[in-house]
Amino acid sequence: MGIEELSARELRDKIAAGQVRSVAATEAVFKAIDRCEPIVGAYISTFREQALAKAREVDDRVAGGEPVGALAGVPVAIKDVMCTTFGATTCASKILEHFHAPYNATAVEKLLAADAVIVGKTNMDEFAMGSSTENSGLKQTANPWDATRVPGGSSGGSAAAVAAGMCFAALGSDTGGSIRQPASFCGVVGLKPTYGRVSRYGLVAYGSSLDQIGPLTRTVEDCALTLNIIAGHDPADSTSVDDRTAPLADYLEKLEEPIQGLKIAVVPAFNAGADEQVLKSVSDAIKVYKTLGADVIEVEMPHLDYAIAAYYVIATAEASSNLARYDGVHYGHRTENPADYIEVYSKSRAEAFGKEVKRRIMLGTYALSSGYYDAYYLKALKVRNLIRADFVKAFEKCHCIMMPVAPTTAFRIGEKVDDPLQMYLSDIYTIAANLAGIPGISVPCGFDDIGLPIGLQILAPAFGEDKLLQIARMFEKVTDWHAKRPSL
């Protein structure tokens, strides 16, 4: 088996045992980047010399019998929405194109402490606003399975990099499905942890009550390994949950143990808008669980129909507030030769923000304005509580809920870019988990008739990532969809 065929954990174990050199793995990744990047366009920036220097350091420590971290020498990528002291932190926006952060995000610090080799920062929808990575202000990313199609978004660069073999794992962020949907489109595993399980410190905010960092990997086991590293309380993040309130688990410890008496819930009414091939693959995946002894029940979640409306009020309102800081004064792009301070603010933002970011700022500002706050924002928060209650009630009857990740497989580049409402509907199955703050995972479960990947979405109760990963691993062990790779 070649280096490029290994999972992140297999590679870590071989590097730690001295059977494979991290330098060789890192060189293999950059060879893949050199070959695939002109087609895929997954990276905004890469750090070849820095990565090779870190790989040599790991190899030297292994050779000297010194201890190494849990991701020792494994090449990984970071979505360019997380602050790093190396390279620019752009959020794929012209307003931050030359911004260099003075600190690392906590999740990045934890990867570095685990001796991961960070090879680059990946492309995304500008400020994580989008479902296709077409809203990047810096470049276009293509799906490795078909370069005429989108990789999903907003973590499309991370998903594409993992799928194309341009890293062994990557971090993304998920505000309304931005890890799970690109994972589904690119045929990889993507996990959105419970809100508060992973520190958001150093994550550039889009929707502060919704955003969550999580891993995109080749296997469920690699997701568990990465979550072990990045999870945990962070005193620098007030939304990070205290480990005493929600104790951490070793997500690898019981991963191979199947859930006995597994009860799966489905929401039939909520699947109505999905493509037939997507529904068939998800249905076939659930049948696999039945052969493993699981029981399947139907549940009603009457408020899920309002999830998209509530989400796009709450998310845009928070975006309007969060993006007010990009004003041409503190940092970022500043317009040339402004007539006064009003022009500094207005022209800097007009020149450097993309169309979708401007749209969401305007929607959010309207929702928060005098006379409309109660009618829109406050009502959306009430609906959010009803959706959260729907999940609590459903989980009293089951271990998990299964549904599609997206209504379709990857659509063509440019197909929906001029129809924002159709684009927003790409998130119809993922948004509710963010509103409720619960964990969700996408695992590969099939392909459509033109060879595009399909993902199965599994949702679990808050802080139930250990059980969620066990359930996902049950499916992965008896199928080989996750082992399929695009040929580039």
Q: What is the pLDDT of residues 292-306, one digit of tens each?
A: 999 999 999 999 999
- Residue matched to tokens 């392909």: 447
Active-site residue, selected from the candidate residues 14, 54, 79, 416: 79
198 versus 420: which is more confidently predicted? 198
Q: What torsion, rounded to 10 degrees, do the Cα atoms 300, 301, 303, 308 define?
A: -120
Asked whether residue 293 is assigned to any structural domain, the reply reads no
Q: What is the pLDDT of residues 22-68, one digit of tens each?
A: 999 999 999 999 999 999 999 999 999 999 999 999 999 999 999 99
Q: Which long-range contacts (CB under 8 A, 24 or more apart) does 380-384 make?
A: 380/309, 380/310, 380/311, 380/313, 380/314, 380/317, 381/314, 383/303, 383/306, 383/309, 383/310, 384/310, 384/314, 384/435, 384/436
The answer to whether the CB of 182 falls within 8 A of the CB of 161 is no
**Average pLDDT score, the chain:** 96
Q: How far is CA 61 from the centre of its chain?
A: 32
Using DSSP's 3-state secondary structure scheme, residue 103 falls into coil
| 93 classed as catalytic | no
Asked whether residue 447 is assigned to any structural domain, the reply reads yes
Q: Number of H helices and number of E strands within the chain?
A: 15, 11
Give residue 422's pLDDT band: very low, low, confident or very high (50, 70, 90). confident
| 14 classed as catalytic | no
Alpha-carbon span 223 to 475, nearest angstrom: 15
Active-site residue, selected from the candidate residues 131, 154, 158, 173: 154
Asked whether residue 343 is assigned to any structural domain, the reply reads no
Q: Enter the tokens of residue 333.
A: 């792009």
CATH number where 112 lies:
3.90.1300.10
Strand positions, DSSP E, 200-308? 212-217, 263-266, 295-298
Alpha-carbon span 440 to 430, nearest angstrom: 8
Q: What is the pLDDT of residues 432-467, one digit of tens each?
A: 999 999 999 999 999 999 999 999 999 999 999 999
* Number of structural domains found in the chain: 1
The answer to whether the CB of 188 falls within 8 A of the CB of 218 is yes
The answer to whether the CB of 198 falls within 8 A of the CB of 214 is yes
pLDDT of residue 212: 98
Asked whether residue 276 is assigned to any structural domain, the reply reads no
Give residue 270's pLDDT band: very low, low, confident or very high (50, 70, 90). confident
Using DSSP's 3-state secondary structure scheme, residue 463 falls into coil
| 178 classed as catalytic | yes
In this prediction, what percent of the chain has a pLDDT beyond 90?
93
Alpha-carbon span 140 to 125, nearest angstrom: 9
Bond preceding residue 154 cis, omega within 30 of 0:
yes
Angle at the Cα of 396 from the Cα atoms of 193 and 273, rounded to 5 degrees:
65
Using DSSP's 3-state secondary structure scheme, residue 119 falls into strand
Asked whether residue 378 is assigned to any structural domain, the reply reads no
Q: Enter the tokens of residue 43.
A: 């990276």
Q: Which of 193, 214, 192 is nearest to 203 (CA)?
A: 214
Show the domain range for 230.
3-265+396-483
Asked whether residue 366 is assigned to any structural domain, the reply reads no
Active-site residue, selected from the candidate residues 132, 178, 320, 442: 178
pTM of the full structure: 0.97
Give residue 280's pLDDT band: very low, low, confident or very high (50, 70, 90). very high
The answer to whether the CB of 251 falls within 8 A of the CB of 227 is yes
The amino acid sitting at 398 is: C
Asked whether residue 275 is assigned to any structural domain, the reply reads no
Alpha-carbon span 331 to 89, nearest angstrom: 12
Asked whether residue 386 is assigned to any structural domain, the reply reads no
